[in-house]
Chain A
Amino acid sequence: MRDPAGWPVFRRCGRGEFGVARVVVLGAGIAGHTAALHLRRMLAKEHQVTVVSPNSKWNWIPSNIWVGVGRMTTDQVTFALAPVYRRQRIEFHQALATELHPEGSPSNNAPYVSVRYTDPKRAGETGEITYDYLINATGPKLNFAATPGLGPDANSVSVCTPDHAREAAERFAETVGKLKQGIRQRLVVGVGHGTCTCEGAAFEYCFNVEHELRMAGVRDLADVTYLTNEYELGDFGVGGMIFHQNGFETTSKLWTESLFRERGVKAIVQAHVESVEPGTIHYEQLDGSKNSLDFDFAMLLPPFRGADLKAFDSTGNEISSEVFAPSGFMKVDADYTERPYEQWSAQDWPNTYESAAYPNIFAVGIAFAPPHQISKPRQSPNGTLITPAPPRTGMPSGIMGKTAARTIADRIANGASASAHRASMATIGAGCVASSGMGLRNGTAAAMTMYPVVPDFKRFPGTGRSAIDTFGEIGLAGHWVKYMLHVMFIYKARALPGWYLIPE
């Protein structure tokens, strides 16, 4: 059933009679999986929830850091999705979405997604999955190709996936082995491109590596360097933070630099990695200088771009440029007008995550196109952009997924005109715990919260964020929090009893 504007309507037609709605979620990461579980909980049984993901397993990505130093196995940070979805009555297709047909096609007048199966039992098969509402939570494409020589298939390692992290742990163990033989080693941890995001993850891995070297008794032979595209330490892709401590305002820059000094970690900032050769990183800095850094072990995160998904109209013409930004991320209800940094506003950021072109499509988590960076954009004299992309993982991802699910559930119950729920990154906060070590007493962490994620200088003149709710603290307690989050979120993602009581 459709309303006069052509949108699907699933009104109660009479006692016990409903139109059947089909909601398809692309991606089973933090945002997509959260959305799917909440949709199944909120929607009546007759409505269908379908998840399409190329991966057979769910991964608690924050704990990949511990896999990357050999403190956890991949099995401790993943679980099979199919049994969870079977139990939750969610249809699961282990497949890669390749094409989006939001207007249908001459042979199929319902909106649909073309998929290619990655399920070993159906490998190579293709299919079409129709939908009434679609959530794009495809996450990032790990764009190692943007930097020649970057990545596990070339000259550096990564911790972006469990397999990458396991390989990183193996290479790290080899490096520790050489140190134990008395051979000096240089370990470089950071980001592999001027426009990378997730500097917090690189920072966390860097201090895990440093911690493990100390535990192994080889720290004095190791040179640990953090290589980042941040303008200054403590930026974390969010333009840095101001903390109140002991009656003073302090910056995340000073706070982070203190930790680097305490642990003897070197830092190279404002860097765009141009290429990675075996044993050598070539990078450009914001002043235009070109430099090289030799290494024995390098974990460099890749830049992200949107998944390889193309969109077509009802006649088969490609409309990807209307649906997606040039970065491949989906355009949503953000203000994408190009403006200088001084005119950026918290109001530029999306609230509902509805596609700009098709209101029955939503993009959440990393899949939505941000209107601009959060950190001030900077270019080298050579024209190279060296600025972190905005982070939109973890807590904000889960909130976005739930927000889209609530909107869709309302619209299925009350009609397509039901107003959308809102969760702008300029009105939600985030917590970040960068923890090193393992066990009750053998660990420490830098725990940070910020509110809001995107600074709002009208609400919070001066710093753009709440002084009370933006803080940082170092200690064992943060390490306990990180382990507690690991246990809680895997419990929640497994949809075990009471899972929905655990917040995003």
Chain B
Amino acid sequence: MDQAAADIKNAPLPTQRTLRLRQNLAFQLWRFIILNLRFAKIIAKGAK
């Protein structure tokens, strides 16, 4: 087995809770707001 395959095999898997949160509409709506704020901050820094 090459190194990349070994690294993938040993990588952590998300828990069931994390997988549910990734698709939970209410939680993702909150994350959508956060993501947009983070993007806006990056844009604002670039515009300086």
Say if the beta carbon of A121 comes within 8 Å of chain B: no
Count of interface residues, chain B, beta-carbon cutoff 8 Å: 31
Chain A interface residue count, CB cutoff 8 Å, equals: 38
How far does the alpha carbon of A267 sit from the alpha carbon of B35 in the complex, in Å? 28
Q: What residues on A are CB-neighbors of B28 within 8 Å? A: 475-477, 480
**Known interface pairs A258-B11, A399-B46, A475-B21; A481-B39 also in contact (CB < 8 Å):** yes
Residue in B34, B43, B45 whose Cβ sees the most chain A Cβ within 10 Å:
B43
Task: Contact check, B13 vs A481: say whether CB atoms are below 8 A apart.
Answer: no
Q: Known interface pairs A473-B31, A477-B29. Does A261 touch B46 (Cβ–Cβ under 8 Å)?
A: no
Verify if A90 is at the interface (C-beta below 8 Å from B): no
| A242-273 contacts to B (CB < 8 Å) | 253-254, 257-258, 260-262, 266-269
Q: Is A438 an interface residue (CB 8 A)?
A: no
Docked complex: B2-48 residues within 8 A CB-CB of A = 2, 4-5, 7-14, 21-23, 25, 28-29, 31-32, 34-36, 38-39, 41-43, 45-48
Distance of A441 Cα from B26 Cα, bound (Å): 12
Main secondary structure of the interface of B (DSSP, over half): helix
Considering only residues 109-154 of chain A, those with a C-beta below 8 Å from chain B are none
Seen from chain B, the residues whose Cβ lies within 8 Å of a Cβ on chain A are: 2, 4-5, 7-14, 21-23, 25, 28-29, 31-32, 34-36, 38-39, 41-43, 45-48
Q: Could you pull out 24 A-B pairs where Cβ atoms are within 8 angstroms?
A: A233-B4, A258-B11, A258-B13, A395-B46, A423-B46, A427-B46, A427-B48, A429-B43, A431-B39, A431-B42, A441-B23, A444-B22, A451-B42, A469-B45, A474-B14, A474-B22, A476-B22, A477-B31, A477-B32, A480-B28, A480-B32, A481-B39, A503-B43, A504-B43
Top 7 A-B residue pairs of the complex, sorted by shortest distance between their CB atoms: A257-B11, A428-B46, A477-B31, A429-B42, A477-B32, A475-B22, A476-B28
